[in-house]
Structures are given as structure tokens and as C-alpha cells.
Chains A and B, each alone.
Chain A
Amino acid sequence: MNTIVNSRIDEKVLYEKLDSGLKIFFMPKPGFSKKYAVFSTNYGSIDNNFIPIGEEENLVVPEGIAHFLEHKLFEEEDEALFEKFSRLGASVNAFTNFNQTSYLFSTTDNFYESLELLVKFVQSPYLTDENVEKEKGIISQEIKMYDDDPGWRVFFNCLRSMYVNHPIRIDIAGTVESINTITKELLYKAYNTFYNPSNMVLFIIGDLSFEKIIDVVKSSEKKFEKKEENIKRIYTDEPKEINEKFIEEKMVTSTPLFYIGFKDSDLNLMGKDAVKKDLITNIILDLLFSPSSLFYNELYNEGLITSNFGAYFTGKRTYGHSLVIGESHKPKIVYEKVLNLIDKRGEEVLKLEDFNRIKNKNLGNFLMGLNSIEFIANNFVDLYFDDFIILDYLDVMEEIQYNDILKRFKNHFTRGNVVLSIINPI
């Protein structure tokens, strides 16, 4: 059992790696009523091309299969899994995003029994032709629910404008057509490849005992024959260049929505370097576009943007992008103004005193985030798969210098790597 401590924020994380290859992390939270556990695999919608375990040739899977698998794992041969969790008073859920699939529960009671259930169900897939068919109807409704969401559409259109080949362009849930081609055989192939303990992590947070947690997991986990360390994921080359500059669609919505995307070419970073780049870029976006910026206030006063305006950067090893998001009656004018802003010199638009102010803001925001068990758990897993432990976050923040900001601004925010996506009302 090992411990990582950060006394500045008054938190610690205990961890252990089991013989199966599974790593368990635990953050004690004395005094909190809720206990939370998340069991994640480093497998998401972008992992659509891989060599299945035990095979030689690569397999390109139908769009939406990681998400489909997430739904199916809740199926049990005997009793409804939901009912088992409910009887323990635990609230269970799951989600799939671009990079990971996570199965989680929260509860105020019966934590260890629920943990046993979590480990067992994620490790025992039960797939039949019949239950695969049945799920297609449900997921079709989920897809259609998202199809009616202009916020979701303007986002995905922006991704498609930026990326030429990269599987981030694919709808996480797939399409009604693509999910119809999913079979139980394909699901098992994906499962057996990616749901391997060494590709997964278990994170737990609450007022609990780590010894007991380890005991429960050891006795519940499946005994795997082989420790598969290296999963071969295949990525087609993604060019630096954007796909298309502009994409526009109409949907039932009141005000036009827009997403401005800046495609990142500073890739292949992991761990602290990736987190640092992430933070630097987000600090720039804060300085340029947050409510405490000149730009935001000018455009707001002119009625060009509403308080639903913001920006963030997100990136992983093989992709990254900054997004400037909002709603406006004149989205193209907002876009022009953003371009004029990034044309300027860094020293002019990113002032040192503002930089220091934003650093203070981030410090407070991070501390407040630590109040929320869900915030910690979700961010822990996300950062862990990037080889980074959340406790070190503030240390990286302290390291960032004003020059880092200037350099990144020059390289990442250019007219060459920018796209515009708009959804207009019908």
C-alpha cells in the first residue's frame, strides 16, 4: 500500500496494484456521507481500430460500439443488476466518452457489498443475440434525443470541421445505422481486448477503510490468465491541417449557436507535460474570453454575446483543441472579432497582472472542486489515464510562467488552424 500526500490542499491518495494488474486508488474523505466508486477502462469512442487480443489483423469496429458495450454490461443472466444495486441503496450509472468508459455507483450505506457487485458485473459480460437486438431500440432513442439537441450538434460539427480522419469525429453513441451492424461477437472482441485489468483503474472516495476495500476487490475480481499489458490501438495519420473552415446547419433553436475551434498540433504529450499544456492553454482562454476579460465585456455590452459564452481546451495524446462557445444573433461577427483578437501580440492581450489574477482564481476554483466527490472521482480517472495524479495539479499550476503563456498563444491561436461551426434557427 502506498500513499501520496499533498498537505497544501489537505488531501491524500492511497494506492495498490493487485497481481491481476489492476490498480486501486483511494481518497479518504472523513465526515462525508456519500461514498463513491468508479471502475474505468481506458477505452472510448476513439478506439475504433485495434488488434483484438490473440489476433494478428486489425479490426475496425462499428461506430458506437464502446457505448453499446457500456449499456450491455448491465445485463445479467439471472437477476436485473439495477435491482441488486437498488436493494443495497446504491445509485449506479455509467458513461462513455471519447477516451474512457466508466461504471460508477454512489451510496451512503452498504458500500462494500456494492463494491463487490461493481467489480463482479463489470468483469462478467453476458451477451446474447437477443439482448443485443433489444438494446438497439433503446440506444436508437438515446441517439435521437441527442439529435434534437442543437448544442450537441454544433459541437460535433465543429469536431468534424477540425478533424479529417481522427475518430474523435465519430458520434460517441454511433448512428442508428451503425449500431444495427453491431453483433455479440464484435462486442466480445472489444470487451476481451480492452476490459483487461491492466487497462483499467478503480477509484474510490469516501469515509472508508482501504484495507477492507482491497480485501473486497481481491475476493471479487475475476482471475485472469494472462496479463495483457500492451493493447495495439491503430490511428490513421491525422494531418495538421483542418478539414473545412466553416460548417452551418439549421435546427429548432431560438438564437444561433456557435463553436469556434482551434486545432492543436502540439501532440504526443503525456503526464505532467500534457497537464501543463492543458493548464497553460486554459489560462490563455480565461484571459481572453472569461467574464473578467475586456473582450467578453465589449461584446456583451454590444449585445453580440450573452452570458452563455465561454472557452476551454481539452486534449489527449493524439488530439487537442480549444473551443470558444456561445450564442449570438451575429455569430460571424463574433468570429471575426475573435480572429482580430488573436492577430494581436501576446503582450498586448495577455497582461502580466491579469495572468497573476487568473492564477489565484484557478487556485480557489480547484480547492472548491475538491468539495465534490464526483468532481474528484471523474477528474482523477481522466488524469490517471494520462499518467497524472490529480493531487499534483496545484504544483503544476505554480510552475507556469508568463512566458509559457506568450509562447503558447503565438503557436496555438492562429488563422491557419481555426474553424467555425454554426447552428441557425429554422
Chain B
Amino acid sequence: MDLKVDKIKLGNGINLNLIYTDKFKSNLLSYYIVRPLNREDVTKNALLPLVLKRGNQKLNTTLEVEQKLDELYGSNLSLTVNKRGEKHVIRFTLEWADGSYFNDDSYNLKTIDLLNDIVFNPYLENDSFSKEYVRQEKENLKDRIEGKINSKRSYAVDRCIEEMCKSEAFSLYSFGYVEDLPSIDEKNLYEHYKNVINNSPIEIIYVGKYDEKLISHIKESNKMNRQNIIHLSREKIDYDIEEVNVVRERLDVNQGKLVLGYRTGIPFEENLYNGLLIASDILGGGPNSKLFRHVREENSLAYYIGSMVIKYKSILLIDGGIEFENYDKTTKIINEQIEKMRNGDFSDDDIEISKKAIKASTESIKDSTYLISEFFFSQQLSNDFRSLEEVLNDIDNVNREDIIEASRHIALDTIYFMSK
């Protein structure tokens, strides 16, 4: 099955992307609203989906919205904010079992209308958001921000990035900051919302079965006439490292959490980036990787240890959970493995294995409505319109020299270590 998208421009800065497939039992519709990631707006952006979920003009309360979703055969609604590089993306997604299972023709249209209402017709009081809803969601957001400490592994990764990218927008926490909350109220949040709707790039993505009637309906209800759409800048990825920054944080934990942040300076637009992806996989992608074999299997130092590449910032991160006293031993082994990569000390087998792994996970995008939606959104966001097949080919064409060159770009910037 080849994934094909049918793109329709609905107005300035707003596109409808249609991907037809009948292999799933459901259909999925997503709105992606893109903002620049900045300190001033980050918390307000995070608050928006929480408030919008509370009610719209037709269904004013959560109770009514949730009961409606139940009635629509358990349609699944999800609203989030996400960081993609230095962009803050607000996503609204609805997935529903296809109407053909219920002999209900109008059902598909009802779900589309519901999502449209949630995004564009929020519940208002006195020409602004509900005071009560905003107050409550500020409390909830506060809890969520403070809750980042609950998952030690991801908290450690976020902290490393926060330290490493101190003077960059990328250091910002996606859910915002507690100190911003007191100055946000229902009026200024509503102003921000109107601003967001008026000038953000918006991608609407539909995955599943559709016919002319459905498409006309979506087009009609989403046409927008907007003048000025904000411009989103490409992230800066080249940084000089003067010396490695080591950050230690003390917390009452049982296991040390180690995170190493590296700069590579290789833009994802360049072919060498494919070499970096494979280098990262050989280094720490899976159970065949150097980190898994040497840190975990040979030395029993960790249960989890791995590496990943952050696309828009060209950052490579390695993280693992270890005993506190094994910090030196572990960092030494990690450095040794990176040296090996730089010296080409990896086999042709390793290259083949990594290529296969990356290609397999890329291929399996086709098996998920959500991942298909993400793939096409990502094309738009990164201005990279290669088809899935082209992406797979580029991975295949990476050679040993590319991997070595990419590895030589990997430069340690920051180490973060959480311990007792």
C-alpha cells in the first residue's frame, strides 16, 4: 500500500490533507495549529487545549461533550501541546469507528462537526472564555507542570535539554511555567486564542474512508479568509562548545539517571543527516547497539541505555539508569563507544541491522492512523515532501563513510546526572 496524500488549500495558511485508506476500522481527523515556541506564550499555548476541551457552543460542559463522545460509539478525542524543535504545536484529534459498522450514514459527519466545534467555537461567557473553566484549568496545568518530577527518566532528559539549551527557545518546557499562571485570565487567554486562530499555520489531516459528500462538508466548514500568517523560523543548530557543562541534581531516588547531550550541527535537510540516524542506531538504538551490548549486557550497569536524535536541533542524546557510584565507569564506556563510531569500528552487519531497524519502524507508520497523520504533518512542518518510499531509499543509500563522517560531528556539550 502506497501512502498518498491529496492536498487542498482552504485558504491562506490552512490546508486539508486527505489520505484515503480502507484498511482500518476507524477514521481519524487531526487539526495541527503551529505556534513559535517562546517564553511569553508557552504557558498560554499549553492552557488553550485544556480550556477548549471543557465545552463549546453546542455542548457547554465536559459532561455533555463526554456523553456525546460515548454516544458517537466511543469516539476518541485527544488534545495536546507538543514541542517540535522550536515550534509549539497544538493538536486536536478525533478518531471514530467507521459509520459502516453501525448503519449510520450521518455519524461520520457528526464526528467531524464535533471536532470543528471544539476547535473553532469554544464555549464563551461575556464574550470571553468561562472564568470558572480557566481558573480550574490553570490549577490542573499547575499540577501537570509540577508533575514532571513523577517520571524520573523523562524529567532527567528535560533537565539536560534545559541546561544545554539555556539560551535557546528549545529549553522551554512544553507545558509552560507555574509563575506565568497568576497573570493569565479568561480575557487575555481568549485574546491569545483569537490571535492563534487568526494567524497560525493550520494543517487539517484526514486518514480513512471518505467520499465527495464528506470532503465537501469538511471543506465548507473549514474555509478561512486570513491575511497575515506568522512566519516560523528554522532553528539554529550550530553551536561552539567551550567546555562540557556537568550538572548534578540531588533527589531522593533509588537509581541514578544519566543524560548526555551532544551537538552534531548536521541539518536534517542534508543527506548526511541520514548517516547520523544510522550512527545513532548503531550506537544506541536497540539490543544490537554498542551501548546496549557494552553498558548493559557486558557490564550489567544498566537496564535501560540508549541514544536518540532530536531532529530540529540536530542534538543527540544518550540516557541510562545506573547505580550512583557507576557514573565514572559508565561515562567512560559511553565515550569509548563514540570513539569507536568515529574510527569506523563497527561492522557491515551493524550497518545492515540498523538500516533494517529504521526501515521497519518507518514502514510500520502505514499501520497506524495516528502515525500516518503525524507523517504528513511532519512533511509540512519540515518542508520535506519525500514520500515514505523515498525516505526508505535514502536510508538504504547511506554508506560507511557517511556514518563515520556523521559520528565525527558528534560533540559532547552537557552531562546531567540525577542522584541521591
Contact = CB atoms under 8 A, between A and B. Distances in A.
Indicate, yes or no, whether A interacts with B: yes
B23 interface: yes
B367 A32 contact: yes
B322 interface: yes
Nearest to B366: A33
Given A253-B149, A357-B70, A108 B62 contact: no
Given A33-B363, A89-B356, A252-B253, A367 B26 contact: yes
A141 B76 contact: no
A341 interface: no
A269 to B, nearest CB: 26
Interface in A88-118: 88-92, 106-109
B139 A87 contact: no
B302 A86 contact: no
Given A33-B364, A147-B254, A306-B140, A138 B296 contact: yes
A32 B23 contact: yes
Nearest to A135: B300
B357 A290 contact: no
A371 B363 CA distance: 16
A208 interface: no
Contacts of B151: 149
Interface string B45-84: 0000000000000000111001101111111100000000
Interface string A242-277: 000000000111110000000000000000000000
B96 interface: yes
Nearest to B96: A364
Interface string A7-27: 001100000000000000000
Nearest to B152: A148
B251 A252 contact: yes
Q: Of residues B95, B143, B302, B304, which shows the largest number of chain A Cβ atoms within 10 Å of its Cβ?
A: B143
A82 interface: yes
Interface string A398-426: 00000000000000000000000000001
Contacts of B293: 80
A142 interface: yes
Contact of A368 (B97, B146, B287, B304): B97
Contacts of A252: 149, 152, 251-253
Nearest to A139: B303
Contacts of B40: none
A54 interface: no
Interface string A154-180: 000000000000000000000000000
Given A361-B73, A367-B101, A292 B63 contact: yes
A137 interface: yes
Interface residues of A, number: 68
Contacts of B360: 89-91, 106-109
Size band of the B side of the interface?
35 or more
Given A141-B303, A301-B136, A364 B353 contact: no
A237 B374 CA distance: 51
A144 B254 CA distance: 6
B255 A34 contact: no
B150 interface: yes
A5 interface: no
A255 B144 CA distance: 9
B390 interface: no
A368 B24 CA distance: 8
Contacts, number: 190
Contacts of A138: 296-297, 300, 302-303
Contacts of A367: 25-26, 73, 97, 101
Q: Of residues A10, A148, A253, A360, which shows the largest number of chain B Cβ atoms within 10 Å of its Cβ?
A: A148
B286 interface: yes
Interface string B357-394: 10111011011110000000000000000000000000
A307 B140 contact: yes
Given A141-B321, A361-B70, A368 B143 contact: no
B264 to A, nearest CB: 24
A91 B75 CA distance: 31
Contact of A357 (B71, B253, B297, B349): B71
Contact of A31 (B23, B69, B75, B150): B23
A363 B72 CA distance: 10
B364 A254 contact: no
Interface string A350-362: 0000000110111
A47 interface: no
Contact of B25 (A108, A303, A358, A368): A368
B25 A371 contact: yes
A368 B252 contact: no
A106 B364 contact: yes
B364 A108 contact: yes
A354 to B, nearest CB: 8
A150 interface: yes
Interface string A330-353: 000000000000000000000000
Given A294-B63, A368-B26, A91 B357 contact: yes
B67 A357 contact: yes
A297 B63 contact: yes
Interface of A: 9-10, 30-34, 80, 82-83, 85-92, 106-109, 134-139, 141-142, 144-145, 147-151, 251-255, 290-292, 294, 297, 300-301, 303, 306-307, 327, 357-358, 360-365, 367-368, 370-373, 426
Given A136-B300, A254-B150, 8 more contacts: A82-B288, A90-B360, A139-B303, A144-B321, A148-B152, A303-B136, A364-B72, A371-B26
The 6 closest A-B CB pairs, nearest first, are A137-B300, A364-B73, A89-B356, A82-B287, A364-B74, A361-B74
Interface of B: 1, 23-26, 61-63, 66-67, 69-76, 95-97, 101, 132, 136, 139-140, 143-144, 146-153, 251-255, 286-288, 292-293, 296-297, 300-304, 321-323, 349, 352-353, 356-357, 359-361, 363-364, 366-369
18 contacts: A33-B364, A82-B287, A83-B353, A106-B360, A107-B360, A136-B300, A138-B296, A141-B301, A145-B255, A252-B252, A254-B146, A255-B143, A292-B63, A301-B132, A303-B139, A360-B70, A363-B74, A371-B368
